[in-house]
Chain A
Amino acid sequence: MNIDKFTITSYDQITGFDRTNGSLDMILDELSDFTLSHEEEKTDITGKGGRVISSLKKNKKVTGKGTNGMLSGGALAAMLGAEIEDGKHIIRYTDAITVTENKGITKEVATGTIGNEISTIYVRDTNNAYISGGKKLTQTGAEPATGEFSYDPETKEITFFEGDITDGTEVIAFYDAEVEGKKISNDSNNYSKTLQVFIDVTCQDGCDNLFHGQFIIDRADFNGTFDVAGGSDPATLGFEFTSMPNLCTGKSQLWDFVLFD
């Protein structure tokens, strides 16, 4: 391909790898926009009559900034300085339970101190309020008295005091439950990561021929300032990194670009 005449038609994918062990840390492949910005400071050196006789160039800087249409766990972890943990995690579960014959069944197994796994069950009042109004039942490890309930985690069964709750009433419980999943922790002691980044692009020459190209950034220092906004529009992930030379290997490149032949 003639590298003197081409355009980048799309930024397709950004992959980030751990610089120590080379493992894949993130993939951003729904890029809605991306810009690789270049900066350089140039100070004129003037001579007789104020004429410019030379220039001093310094402070070269490359930053990559863009938005991925979808949140990426790996990218979040890179920007938070976190690791993704796969396994069992405790979450807070909201459970609406229908009472039948003074009994109810939780959807998940409530965990915590034995005899206080659920702690409180909320019963709505006539206005359907259960925070500002309604009734609160407390958990007991013994036989429930009025205003109390007991819970058996083995069978997930809740037992109410006879006559406290009429049949068909929906009560609400909030309890801790164990789920299988992936966890990212935003630790205040950890900061955003520096990854080895590869940016795949599609290029086009003047004759509509398409080519594959790739930017290689040895040290991309991710910025930990970002928003995860949601609402009427789906959450997107804005990201930013600064390219730095690899001092360990003595390489001073801020990036390499390879256009595949």
Chain B
Amino acid sequence: MENRKSLLNLSSVDILPNLSIRIPTVGEILENEDSYYSIVSSLTATPFQYMVQLDDMGIDYTKITDYELFKILFPMYAKSNLSILFGDLNTSDFDVYINKQDDSQVIYSPSNDIIIDELAYNDLANIIRKINLLDKVNSKPGNESARKYLLEKERKKQKRNAKKKKEPYLEKMVIALVNTNEFPYDYDSCMDLSIYRFNQSFKQIQHKISFDNTMIGVYAGTVDTSKLSNKDALSWIPNK
């Protein structure tokens, strides 16, 4: 990953010689953003985020790895249209197979002769997270009582959220940014931006607004920079 080109200048990222991840445009995602974010969250999910569903399947979410979860989820999604992420690649025959070299289970497509092993999966999930500004959820319960407690809490949360109407995330972001002075695109031109560029612009604008407001406070004497816990707000170029 370290030697990869900047994603700002790419429309797709190579994971394996014949497997690449597309960086879709904002317009493409807005065609069906529910579906896009559902695919993205599933392909990058950790067992912690799927604790309720795994428990319903009789699987302890602390006992399986990220890749094992991917082996459950990916073959299910692969049957549907994943062209927004995988382009022309026919994903319909991706399934779990035994790798004859080491007897391990891997995701394999006979028609494309592509093996997604744990290494390739990590690469793929990290790229999708990077494109979509997602952080990997590394949380895990520290003991058995915490495991049960978190599971119960999450189950209750999901039950409540199931009744709530889903809010269109990207659409709201587009409206907010297009109507912000710092964003140099209008509704039409913004549709051609790759989601990575769009997300990076959002991140930078958010940082710049925070910087400007902090500086107004500094010049007005209401903000003491020595007491700021986040020193990153003192530069308009973010450190990370």
List of B residues within 8 angstroms of A202 by Cβ: 149-150, 153
A69 → B minimal CB distance (Å): 10
List of A residues within 8 angstroms of B140 by Cβ: 208-210
Best-surrounded residue of A1, A204, A212, A261 (most CB of chain B within 10 A): A212
Chain B residues within CB distance 8 Å of chain A: 138-143, 145-146, 149-150, 153, 156
Distance, CA A261 to CA B149, complexed state (A):
12
Residues 246-261 of A at the B interface (beta carbon under 8 Å): 260-261
Partner of A205, one of B142, B145, B156: B142
Distance, CA A149 to CA B159, complexed state (A):
51
Would you call B142 and A1 a contact (CB within 8 A)?
yes
Residues 203-261 of A at the B interface (beta carbon under 8 Å): 204-205, 208-212, 260-261
Would you call B143 and A260 a contact (CB within 8 A)?
yes
Contact with B along A144-159 (1 / 0, CB 8 A): 0000000000000000
Partner of B142, one of A12, A200, A211: A211
Which residue of chain A is the closest to B143 with respect to CB atoms? A261
Partner of B143, one of A29, A204, A208, A211: A211
Return 16 A-B CB contacts under 8 Å, by A number.
Answer: A1-B142, A1-B143, A208-B139, A208-B140, A209-B139, A209-B141, A209-B146, A210-B141, A210-B146, A211-B142, A211-B143, A212-B146, A260-B145, A260-B149, A261-B143, A261-B145
Would you call B139 and A212 a contact (CB within 8 A)?
no
Which residue of chain B is the closest to A12 with respect to CB atoms? B153
Which residue of chain A is the closest to B145 with respect to CB atoms? A260
Distance, CA A131 to CA B54, complexed state (A):
61
Partner of A260, one of B139, B146, B153: B146
Distance, CA A1 to CA B153, complexed state (A):
20
Distance, CA A210 to CA B46, complexed state (A):
15
Best-surrounded residue of A29, A200, A209 (most CB of chain B within 10 A): A209
Q: Beyond the given A29-B156, A210-B139, A210-B142, could you list 15 further A-B residue pairs with CB under 8 A, ordered by the A residue number?
A: A204-B139, A208-B138, A208-B139, A209-B139, A209-B140, A209-B142, A210-B141, A210-B146, A211-B142, A212-B145, A212-B150, A260-B143, A260-B145, A260-B149, A261-B143
